[in-house]
Amino acid sequence: MPRRFPHVYRGRCFCGSIRVSFEAHTPPRATPLRSCTCTFCLKHGARNTSDPEGRARLEIRRPGRLSRFDFRPQTGGRLLCGFCGAYVATARCIGGRWLATINVNALDRTQEFTQRPRLMDYSGESAAETRARRAAKWTPAEIVLRKR
């Protein structure tokens, strides 16, 4: 029997080419948020969250519009829509499984996430430390590519 989560959030990029669902144990007002201090996240105003006991699904409805940005090779790729420019999530395959952190600004109920984001500076981490942190804290994810 599939596991049920008390809180299910859905969202998408502006044009709908990338859709996301995020299932978690915490309500939006209690969900901890992070804002990375890298220039990418600062320029996008990103507010990310994850639940290592939750579940995420990223559905790429138009794969030709998917754009990945990865300024630290081997640590994870930010998933953006190459058409409308929205930053939806960052995902990485670690230890044979996909993990993701979700930008709550891409969710339909973004205004319900009211926690002040904790500023995070990961610049001192090695690639191995980054992968270990993500393996422990990010949300297990499924990435689905739709063919048109």
The residue ranking higher by pLDDT, 143 or 79, is 143
The tens digit of pLDDT for each residue in 15-27 reads 999 999 999 999 9
Query: How confident is the model over 75-98, as a mean pLDDT?
Result: 87
The tens digit of pLDDT for each residue in 32-71 reads 999 989 888 888 899 999 999 999 999 998 867 765 666 6
> What does the pLDDT read at residue 22?
97
CATH 1.10.3720.10 fits 7-144, yes or no: no
Confidence of residue 78 (pLDDT cuts 50, 70, 90): confident
Neighbouring residues of 106: CB distance < 8 A, sequence distance ≥ 6: 11, 12, 13, 20, 86, 87, 88, 89
Is residue 21 within 8 A of residue 56, CB to CB? The reply is: yes
Q: Please report, for the chain, the start and end positions of each structural domain, with discontinuous segments joined by +.
A: 7-144
Distance CA 86, CA 84 (A): 6
